[in-house]
Structure 1
Amino acid sequence: MTPGHNRPRAAVVGSPIAHSLSPVIQLAGYAHLGLDWGYERIELRPDQFDGFIDGLDDSWRGLSVTMPLKERAAACGLPDDDVVLTGAANTVVFGEQRRVYNTDTLGLVDAMAAEGLAVRVGTVIGNGATARSVAVALARGGVRLIEVQGRNPERLRAFRDWAEGSLGVEVQPRSLGAPLDPATEVLVSTVPSAALNTHLDTLAVEFCPALRVVFDVIYHPWPTPLAGRAASAGLRVLSGLDLLVHQAAHQVRLFTGSEVPVAVLMSAVRAELQRRGAS
């Protein structure tokens, strides 16, 4: 296809967006499929979202949605089950009917399945949109007890009521940085590093006897202090790249109708990170 007005387009939207790796991942997927598609970064605030999406022409195939737009995106089209469950969408697909998806849950399930995780007790740090997706993924993976840590007691109670009512798991709300439940086997942090750094001593991942995996959804800068501490303790560490790439594979499928191997996308993003580090 010759580039032009009708060239299929997609983008990642959010704020801040300048350092997003989504264009690298998506364009690698399109190249693997032999598609001449465009993909860009678009800085967008919540108050701009509705006007932007309603103004797109028929060359657009989809949007990847990042913070702080996931809740706004959930209301902009026909939702899949995970959007209904979590109230958050990170994928918009255009067609005869606009549809919205939460591929974060799929990506988290895939990333943890790739590690062979089979656990019963998990801890989630944070209680926002990503934390809800994490809770869904943990519940689907067999976790029956989730400890959730955060600063706001009301939000923690709301998260507990939602998870216990919707997912059928037991939830223990705890203050941010509380010592981990000794039975915790997987810890997933969904908060910025700065919010957690002063709590690492009390969190004490190195002294949790059952803990095997720490999954920090941050990927830049890396390693985070939490990831570094977990690695020093000999724990398996997953980063935001694992989530980003696995969920992006589902986005490429939804946008194009074709599958791309996760390894293709991960290779592209690692090469880009190496290039950025060398520049």
Structure 2
Amino acid sequence: MTRLAVLGSPIAHSKSPDIHSAAYRSLGLDWGYERFELTEPELAAFLGSRGPDWRGFSLTMPLKAEALALADEVDETARVTGAVNTLLLTGSGSERQLSGFNTDVAGIVNSLAEHGVREAANVCILGGGATAASAIMAAAALGAQAVTVAVRTPAKAEGLHRQAEAAGLALRIVPLGDALAAASESQLIISTLPGGSDTGLVFDAELIGRVALYDVAYAPWPSALGAQWQAAGGQLISGLGMLLHQALVQVRIFVAGDPFAPLPDEAAVFRAMTAAALSNPVKG
């Protein structure tokens, strides 16, 4: 049996096994998809010990940068973002190769489009980790000209300037406490903060009413930030959509080796993935 898995820490909450398993059942493939709790120092040894029955891996935090370093080749999106969230294993023995991809950008863009958000001239991103780099590229795809990243420690996010420059964006990095002012100038807020984070930020109802919040977290749901949008009736978009759309591209990679090759009856595959994600909702 062909084997796949999602790797990261923490990983117990991940819905990827449900979503991917539904996709392979829909495609008539007897493939198994597991989960493994791993940290960065453990990744190389884990990958090196996998047998010929392994096809690939989904990577979540904190492994995306380490996966980039371990890949034999990477796609352009992974190179620019500095983050690999998908590894494809091909060949065998001395010819075995790890190819790295970033499907997070497509996941963000496609899930936003699903909710009618197809453009934003100014975007505010909360958090400065690996997903923030993908959010910057997604902002560029939405036609943004300027992006503000609000983080707890601005000095640690300076590396994001490289992604912004590659995407042709003007980037400003500010302390998280300045997010309220930055968001007031934006058409879209993308939160890349962990779902359990409480920033202490309180957004006013007027801003919530006119600026959509795309919260990449989906567990617990809603996040503390998302709860503010829910209470005020603002447009709140869950990261579950990102998970589904990026997973669809991962399935393309695992099945065909190509992120752009549509799957047989792809619409039916995506419906099966969505049903699996919604069958056991994550609650806060």
| CA displacement at 1:189 relative to structure 2 | 0.7
Q: 2:233 aligned with 1:234, yes or no?
A: yes
Q: Show CA shifts across 1:194-219 (max 9, x none).
A: 543412x2xx1533288431011111
1:196-211, aligned counterparts within 5 Å? 196-199=198-201, 201=202, 204-208=203-207, 211=210
Deviations 1:237-257 (A, max 9, x none): 111201111100001111012
Aligned mates of 1:256, 1:21 — CA distance in 2: 20
Alpha-carbon distance between aligned partners in 2 of 1:190 and 1:207, rounded to the nearest angstrom: 22
Work out which of the residue numbers 165, 170, 189 in structure 2 matches 1:187.
Answer: 189
- Of 67, 86, 90, 1:95 maps to 90
* Compared CA separation, residues 36 and 191, structure 1 to 2 (3 A): same
The corresponding residue for 2:75 is 80
RMSD: 1.8
Contact 1:79 1:99 in 2 (8 A): yes
Q: Which residue of 1 aligns with 2:17?
A: 23
Spell out, residue by residue over 1:99-142, the C-alpha distance to the aligned partner (whole angstroms, 9 max, x if none): 11000011111111222321101100011100000110111110
Partner of 1:42: 36
Q: Which residue of 2 aligns with 1:155?
A: 156
1:85-106 C-alpha deviation (Å, 9 max, x unpaired): 0111010011133211000011
State the alpha-carbon separation in 1 of the partners of residues 90 and 163 from structure 2: 32
Paired with 1:15 and 1:228, the residues of 2 have a C-alpha distance of 25
Cα pair 2:209 2:233 within 8 Å, conserved: no
- 2:159 partner amino acid: A
Q: In structure 1, how many angstroms separate the alpha carbons of the residues matched to 2:220 and 2:164?
A: 34
Q: 1:4 maps to which residue?
A: none
Query: In the alignment, is the contact (CA less than 8 A) between 1:70 and 1:89 conserved in 2?
Result: yes
Question: Per-residue CA shift, 1:137-192, capped at 9, x if unaligned?
Answer: 11111011111100112124332x22442111111222103223323111011112
**Cα distance in 2 for residues equivalent to 1:195 and 1:268:** 26
Inter-partner Cα distance in structure 1 for 2:174 and 2:147 = 10
Partners of 1:120 and 1:185 within 8 A in 2? yes
Secondary structure of the 2:205 match is helix
Question: Which amino acid in the other structure matches residue 196 of structure 1?
Answer: D
- Counterpart-to-counterpart distance in 2, 1:26 and 1:85: 26
Q: Which runs of 5+ in 1 are unaligned?
A: 1-6
Unaligned runs of 5+ in 2: 92-96, 257-261
Alignment of 1:108-147 (within 5 A): 108-117=108-117, 118-147=119-148
